Structure 1
Amino acid sequence: MSTKPPKDHFNILYFASAGSYTSKNVEALPAPLPLRKLFDTLEERYKGIRASVLDHSLVTINLTYVDMPEDSAEVDEAEEVVIQEGDEVAIIPPVSSG
């Protein structure tokens, strides 16, 4: 679905309402990026996305679901997840059918 990101970047895939909000299916962001800073980074780029989309979404890194830290204080540096160059991150909002 996506292509390889540029050097020193990772790809982020936007599904459903995340893609609608950003008007993108995929974009490359600079790496490395601590996972705990991902939502703040996206909020800086797309004002209001956190409350509208991200706070209700699941996140994967390289097809593995990850838990988003509630706040920076709860992250132990030794266990901190860092998004690396070449990684693929997906934002997966809840989807309803009807």
Structure 2
Amino acid sequence: MVPRCQIEVLYFAKSAEIAGVRSETISVPQEIKASQLWQELETLHPGLADVRNQVIFAVRQEYVELGDQQLLLQPGDEVAIIPPISGG
């Protein structure tokens, strides 16, 4: 069985509105795909499904798309839900 760890999830912009919180601590498997982590968050806050295609994660301040990348999380890691960043 994969060990679980507590991580801090930070919500910004629309994701914070949907979740109703700016941050929360959740328990997830230490080894988890980015897409599976998003599924865990959608289970907690079903409305997040609306922004799934508009956000990316920042794990330890490194950007990660919501795909099949394997994440190796450490207890206390911060995972931020980053809204679209407009550039130009």
Q: Same fold (TM over 0.5)?
A: yes
Indicate the SS of the match to 2:46.
coil
The residue identity in structure 2 corresponding to 1:20 is E
In structure 2, how many angstroms separate the alpha carbons of the residues matched to 1:33 and 1:43? 18
1:20 is matched with which residue?
17
Question: How far apart are residue 54 of structure 1 and its match?
Answer: 2.4
**Aligned length, in residue pairs:** 80
Are positions 1:10 and 2:12 aligned together? no
TM-score, normalised with respect to structure 2: 0.77
Gaps of 5+ in 1: 1-7, 70-74
In structure 1, how many angstroms separate the alpha carbons of the residues matched to 2:24 and 2:31? 14
The residue identity in structure 1 corresponding to 2:12 is F
TM-score, normalised with respect to structure 1: 0.70
Alignment of 1:86-97 (within 5 A): 86-94=76-84
Structure 1 stretches of 4+ with a deviation exceeding 2 A read none
Percent of matched pairs sharing the same residue: 29
Gaps of 5+ in 2: none
Q: Normalized per residue, which structure has more strand?
A: 2
- Preserved CA contact (<8 Å) 1:9 1:29: yes
Deviations 1:46-97 (A, max 9, x none): 11312x122210210011111221xxxxx4xxx722322111000011267x
1:43 is matched with which residue?
42
- Preserved CA contact (<8 Å) 1:57 1:92: yes
Are positions 1:85 and 2:83 aligned together? no
